[in-house]
Structure 1
């Protein structure tokens, strides 16, 4: 059984998104990185975070912070149509 968490996200106002096993920030990180064809190191450099952060997020050690979620959302918005489905699913 996976506990459901709520993450406070600040982007265009304050929103609450539910985070479950299927739709967690952890899965978003991995899906986005794979879609971009980047390694964890490359993705970390692109976002301006450490490799360890990407690794911990993907391996569900911790959830991405609100600031990290904002960066992920901005990256998805930059992708245009390629990121629309992930925006709809996670935000």
Structure 2
């Protein structure tokens, strides 16, 4: 599986595992386990990407983490927000 994100590229395998964000957990979440990346990803201070697209247009055509939370009745509504800061001291939230 090969994916393009912004100016970078990554390739790997489609896998399934337990994925958690805070107290929210999805069993059997499908995602790409990256084996190789382009150099542009190496410059970023991150461990990976969490796609928020609809599953119908996602690269692996599987329900996203957010869609699985909704279908498993783990969220009160289909709304989320993202708070991103510039500095590492303050942190960010989803």
TM-score, scaled relative to structure 1 = 0.30
Greater per-residue helix proportion:
1
> Computing the radius of gyration over CA atoms, which structure comes out larger, 1 or 2?
2
Greater per-residue strand proportion:
2
